[in-house]
């Protein structure tokens, strides 16, 4: 039986076990939407902006560990996906983006809403396709989902001309893919694993840096076994939060620009760094020449391009984290490193990076801590980028695997609300808290309509300091308090939420915080809280730009007294 290209696409998505898509229809992609009612297995969620579709697909993918799917029409619909695709690319999130394109005879003619989206997205996708024949669609979908998932995950784009959706062809879904050069190395080289084990066994002050690769690989048990067997302290990158339980005696929090002071001090003093599924991003390393000056480096990553790219590596191991750690654990000898662990504990007592000072003011740190206390950590936290992101990393204790979804490499403001929608759709049984800055929230505030229409039972906490907070902090610390274009007017968020039919309250006093969070938790539908917090609160610790990890700024005592 012959099917239209649109029907072939639907059939192929079902074969890939797709259940949900996030998108916005338009002329070039309309034949696909017209076919959807024939396939009730495919749920389509209408977002209000295509950037929201890409972020929602990303949040869905991160929360569930499956490929997220977003859909847009040609031209501006496709270009509106670009920020979300780039975010998925930098954070290794498996997303398939489907875009409509003008009909084949009009390609290259500057037709209405024509854009070369494959050219635009070439640097920010693992691969992309312009499908010129309906008979190729099934194979392309099979390959796209395989590429998005395999090795280091990432986004793939499929661009389909309008007349290809209408064209008929035989539907045969391939059993397997045959892609030359796409066979990622899963098992680390035995000689390298042996070298790494020898270094670990001989080290006096080893330190594990765990990144998002641990989460992607699902290597939670293997990481815990390595840390416990070798008594090796563990710090994480921002996107590695949730890879190792933070209540564990060997957990010492996040390193980096806004990492814990004691985590950065541990990196500075270590004689061996075991980097697992992380890419030595500049926010993690600070000044590279000052990074771990006394340490040899073992780097485990499935992407060979990341090894040696930013930091000199003594023992490179290319492979899937779970596979490599399993082999490594067999060769690592049990150790007693009480003195080294005790030293970092002493630094933690001397530099308590997560202490919240006593004050009558409403501090954002206090809000985050109370969300943790009331949920008892049983929640998925989704953040955007900025101060609220760092406070969420510091003051919510992440003991559950993969419980923080955050905008990492690209750092797009506005990620939090649509990504939280995707996470909640992916895992409806979970409590999902969207923690947003008032600046980022206004960038995708229209997705409240999606929350309302789909009754996505999110809990939303706006950390409202009436500034573009992180930019203001830099202006205060490095630009003599010249607050240019950072004071931020905003709407009454409660009234906006209520206009969409979403329950909401405003909190302006510290005593209102706990009752407000409890009310949100008890409410059966979506709920928004506008926390009007101290406007000029800063995120500490902080490594100044151009400094090394050891040169960390902690909260000045005089600044605390001045408030």
Q: Hey, what domains does the chain have and what are their CATH numbers? A: 2-170 (3.40.50.970), 190-350 (3.40.50.1220), 364-539 (3.40.50.970)
Note the pLDDT of residue 560: 45
Note the pLDDT of residue 273: 98
Q: Which residues contact 118 (CB under 8 A, 6 or more apart)?
A: 128, 129, 130, 157, 159
For the chain, the C-alpha Rg in angstroms (whole number) is 24
Note the pLDDT of residue 562: 40
Contact 380, 419 (CB under 8 A): no
Note the pLDDT of residue 563: 40
Distance in angstroms (rounded) separating the CA atoms of residues 530 and 333: 52
Note the pLDDT of residue 557: 60
Note the pLDDT of residue 453: 98
Note the pLDDT of residue 54: 99
Distance in angstroms (rounded) separating the CA atoms of residues 63 and 103: 36
Note the pLDDT of residue 180: 82
Note the pLDDT of residue 86: 98
**353 CB burial (10 A radius; 0-12, 13-18, 19+):** buried
User: Residue 59 region, left (φ>0) first, then alpha (ψ -120 to 50), else beta?
Assistant: alpha
Note the pLDDT of residue 59: 98
Distance in angstroms (rounded) separating the CA atoms of residues 326 and 300: 12
Note the pLDDT of residue 247: 98
The residues of the chain scoring below 50 in pLDDT are: 559-563
Note the pLDDT of residue 24: 98
């Amino acid at each position: 039986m012959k099917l239209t290209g649109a029907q072939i696409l639907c059939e192929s998505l079902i074969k890939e076990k797709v259940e949900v898509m996030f998108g916005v229809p338009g002329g070039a992609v309309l034949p696909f939407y017209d076919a959807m009612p024939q396939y009730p297995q495919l749920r389509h969620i209408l977002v209000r902006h295509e950037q929201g579709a890409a972020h929602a697909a990303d949040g869905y993918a991160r929360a569930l560990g499956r490929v997220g799917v977003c859909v847009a029409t040609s031209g501006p619909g496709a270009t509106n996906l670009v920020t979300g695709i780039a975010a998925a690319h930098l954070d290794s999130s498996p997303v398939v983006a489907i875009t409509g394109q003008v009909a084949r005879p009009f390609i290259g003619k500057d037709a209405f809403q024509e854009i070369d989206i494959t050219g635009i997205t070439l640097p920010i996708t693992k691969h992309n396709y312009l499908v010129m024949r309906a008979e190729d669609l099934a194979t392309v979908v099979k390959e796209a989902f395989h590429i998005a998932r395999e090795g280091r995950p990432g986004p793939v784009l499929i661009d389909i001309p309008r007349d290809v959706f209408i064209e008929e062809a035989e539907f045969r879904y391939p059993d397997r893919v045959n892609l030359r050069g796409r066979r990622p190395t899963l098992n680390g080289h035995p000689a390298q694993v042996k070298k790494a084990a020898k270094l670990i066994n001989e080290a006096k002050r080893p330190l594990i840096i765990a990144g998002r690769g641990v989460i992607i690989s699902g290597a939670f048990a293997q990481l815990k076994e390595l840390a416990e067997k070798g008594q090796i302290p563990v710090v994480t990158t921002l996107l590695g939060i949730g890879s190792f339980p933070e209540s564990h005696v060997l957990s010492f929090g996040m390193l980096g620009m806004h990492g814990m002071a004691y985590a950065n001090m541990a990196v500075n003093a270590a004689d061996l760094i075991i980097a697992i599924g992380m890419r030595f991003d500049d926010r993690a390393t600070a000044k590279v020449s000052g990074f771990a000056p006394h340490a040899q480096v073992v780097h485990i990553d499935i992407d060979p391009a990341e090894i040696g790219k930013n930091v000199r590596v003594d023992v490179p191991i290319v492979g899937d984290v779970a596979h490599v750690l399993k082999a490594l654990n067999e060769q690592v000898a049990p150790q007693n490193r009480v003195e080294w662990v005790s030293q970092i504990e002493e630094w933690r007592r001397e530099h308590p990076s997560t202490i919240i000072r006593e004050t009558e003011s409403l501090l954002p740190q206090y809000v985050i801590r109370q969300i943790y206390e009331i949920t008892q950590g049983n929640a998925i936290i989704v953040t955007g980028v900025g101060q609220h992101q760092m406070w969420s990393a510091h003051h919510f204790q992440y003991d559950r695997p993969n419980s923080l979804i955050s905008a990492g490499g690209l750092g797009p403001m506005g990620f939090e609300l649509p990504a939280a929608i995707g996470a909640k759709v992916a895992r409806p049984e979970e409590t999902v808290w969207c923690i947003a800055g008032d600046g980022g929230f206004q960038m995708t505030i229209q997705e409240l309509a999606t929350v309302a229409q789909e009754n996505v039972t999110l809990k939303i906490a706006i950390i409202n300091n009436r500034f573009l907070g992180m930019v203001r902090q830099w202006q205060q610390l490095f630009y003599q308090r010249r607050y240019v274009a950072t004071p931020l007017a905003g709407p009454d968020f409660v009234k906006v939420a209520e206009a969409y039919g979403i329950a909401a309250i405003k909190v302006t006093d510290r005593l209102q915080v706990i009752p407000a969070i409890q009310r949100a938790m008890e409410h059966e539908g979506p709920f928004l809280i506008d926390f009007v917090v101290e406007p000029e609160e800063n995120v500490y610790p902080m490594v100044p730009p151009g400094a090394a990890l050891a040169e960390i700024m902690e909260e000045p005592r005089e600044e605390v007294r001045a408030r």
